[in-house]
Amino acid sequence: MSEYLLYILIFINLITLIYFKRRKIRLILKPQKIQEIDVENVDEIFKPILKKKLKMPKEDVFVRNFCVPQTYNVEGIASDYESWILSALSKKADKIFEFGTCSGKTTFLFGMNSKENTKIYTITLDPNKIDTIRHQLNDNKTAEKHILNESVYEEFMFSGHEVEKKIEVIFKDSRDLDIEKLKNQFDLIFIDGGHTYSCIKNDTEKALKMIKHNGIILWHDYASNKRSSRDVYKYLEKTSLKIKIENIKNTSLCYHRKN
Ligand SMILES: C[S@@+](CC[C@H](N)C(=O)[O-])C[C@H]1O[C@@H](n2cnc3c(N)ncnc32)[C@H](O)[C@@H]1O
């Protein structure tokens, strides 16, 4: 009887261990293809100033930033470190395209940090037409739920602010976006729209045509441990076999620069 109990305990321990270490186990069985890159190697602006023992950021990456406390219950927010990277890169861009507006936090950061005459386009689903959104059979269901929660805004954080004049909000399903007149134009494209396979594939394929020579594409939520980001992770891993994509260390941002 006691031997029987011991086997049950070992079995329970094993199941618990597998449950808590499942991400590590998954990575051992299927190693990540996308390699990490230090932020210093993403762009010259991130190379530090050296002061004897101290490394500090250059003025090129001093930005206007703000935090949104968790108690505000705003969905789909990038971390402060990610926001800093996005803001710093937007300082140099003349034309920016963002897939996924949500509350408009990242759009606002682009608006506040980019040059006076920078033009920013951001695409989001129309909350009044959300019931008509197309569902694809193989799309991640958790990601679909997140899309509904994140598509509720008609007014954004930048609404009424002076930077609003630089921003054009496109209320449209990005899968219906006609990019014929948008090819080879953008210095910076941020992909943070629908996290389903059909959306991330559509947004990436369009962004690769819209980005100009030496322009940068950034994807948000490359994370193997988040159920809602599984399609993003899967798609980027696959796409990294065709184009160079790197993951910026300590972030869920992936990076590609067009040659
Ligand atoms: C993660 S949120 C964006 C967060 C925002 N970039 C930020 O950090 O402040 C996702 C956004 O993508 C939009 N979205 C989802 N699927 C879309 C689609 N098929 N076409 C256009 N926008 C889509 C949602 O409406 C929502 O605004």
What residue type is assigned to position 234 of the chain? K
Measured from the CB, is residue 122 less than 6 Å from ligand 1? Answer: no
Ligand 1 proximity of 151 Cβ (cutoff 6 Å)? yes
Stretch (H or E) spanning 105 = helix 105-113
Q: Are 47 and 56 in contact (CB under 8 A)?
A: no
| pLDDT for residue 231 | 96
Q: Which amino acid type is present at position 28?
A: I
pLDDT tens for the chain, residues 1 to 259:
678 888 888 888 888 877 777 767 777 777 889 999 999 999 999 999 999 999 999 999 999 999 999 999 998 789 999 999 999 999 999 999 999 999 999 999 999 999 999 999 999 999 999 888 888 889 999 999 999 999 999 999 999 999 999 999 999 999 999 999 999 999 999 999 999 999 999 999 999 999 999 999 999 999 998 999 999 999 999 999 999 999 999 999 999 999 9
Is residue 77 lining ligand 1, measured as CB closer than 6 Å? Answer: yes
Closest C-alpha to ligand 1, atom 9: 105
| Atom number, ligand 1, closest to the C-alpha of residue 124 | 22
Number of H helices, E strands in the chain: 7, 10
Q: What is the pLDDT of residue 75?
A: 81
| Ligand 1 atom at minimal distance to the Cα of residue 190 | 6
Domain boundaries, the chain: 1-31, 35-257
Q: How far is the CA of 220 from the centre of ligand 1 (A)?
A: 11
> Measuring from atom 1 of ligand 1, which residue has the nearest CA?
76
**What is the CA(4)–ligand 1 centre distance, in A?**
53
Alpha-carbon span 113 to 92, nearest angstrom: 9
CA 123 / ligand 1 centre spacing (Å): 7
Encoding tokens for residue 76? 């789909």
User: Which amino acid is residue 216, in one-letter code?
Assistant: I
Ligand 1 proximity of 231 Cβ (cutoff 6 Å): no
Q: Which CATH architecture has domain 35-257?
A: 3-Layer(aba) Sandwich (3.40)
